[in-house]
Amino acid sequence: MSAPLILALAMLLDAAMGEPRWLWSRLPHPAVLMGRAVGFLDKELNTDKTSILAGILALLLLMGGAALLGWGLSALGGVVQVIVVCILLAQRSLVQHVAAVADGLRVSLGDGRRAVSMIVSRDTAQMDQSATARSAIESAAENLSDGVIAPAFWFLVAGLPGLLIYKIVNTADSMIGYRTPQYERFGKAAALMDDAMNILPARLTSVLIALPTGVITSLRAISRDAKLHRSPNAGWPEAAMARAIGVALAGPRAYDGKMQDFPWVGGSGARIIGPKEIDASLRVLWQAWGMMLGLTILLALI
């Protein structure tokens, strides 16, 4: 089977099944195993807080191991590749987690906060309804790029080795790619590599959002808004999502008890929002997913 055909089948399987609890309650999820690998190298190599070289070594070991595993799994045939790619995509689980926030807000603000705390790292205890909904929508946009489009992109570019390298780099960035005394130097290589590997997928995601929602003519405005974001990549899908559903995203939020005054992305959009706007973002997730699936099928036919 060709890579586009494998990807198309994996996308459909993920959309239909998601992440079955009966399986991952019995076996460790690959994301968990990747996290353990990063944690092991963090413990073993992150002893000299001033050494960037230790972080580079850790990243090379992780990427090398991921590449070897990818090559080995590729040799097992197309069916195995479909299953592996399906497991490493996250469309259905993303939709379920974001939808849970909307469902929670319809019950109470506390339920909404508890649901959104499962998918964001910021402080949620003092969030009002709008901040809770905004956090869910931002997570939807950013994770569409990180958890669906980027893995699909790198599989099309470099097969399972490319996909597994991307996933381990993304996992490393989420665990050690912080500007803290502990990780400022050790995690720098992972953070920079994650930024580099997401440059094209993040911008592709913004186009996949903009096309079916009719805001493709606003790409210049989306580009301008994306540059306001603190991340060089996350701003692109968030800016496209903001335009697509007419809301303002990003803006001030609290981390570790400190309010940080980040600029608004899509600042002309609505700032008083709730479950209805989360529902709109879920429709956009499926529309963008459908665009990616259509592109993949076209590549398979070619």
What is the CB neighbour count within 10 angstroms for residue 287?
16
CA proximity to 174, closest of 10, 14, 39, 60: 39
- Res. 131: pLDDT tops 80: yes
Share of the chain above pLDDT 90, in %: 76
- Res. 188: pLDDT tops 90: yes
**What are the pLDDT digits (tens) for 233-289?**
999 999 999 999 999 998 777 666 666 777 888 878 899 999 999 999 999 999 999
Which helix (H) or strand (E) is 156 found in, with range?
helix 150-176
pLDDT score recorded for residue 152: 98
Q: What is the dihedral of CA 141, 145, 146, 152, to 10 degrees?
A: 150
pLDDT score recorded for residue 259: 67
* Averaged pLDDT for residues 140-157: 97
Is residue 284 a contact partner of residue 209, using CB atoms and an 8 Å limit?
yes
Sign for the pseudo-dihedral over CA of 290, 203, 57, 64:
positive
Token pair for residue 215? Answer: 């805001």
- Res. 27: pLDDT tops 70: yes
Average pLDDT of every residue of the chain: 92
Given pLDDT bands bounded at 50, 70 and 90, which one contains residue 199? very high
- Residue spans of the domains in the chain: they are 3-301
pLDDT score recorded for residue 294: 97
As a residue count, the chain comes to: 302
pLDDT score recorded for residue 264: 83
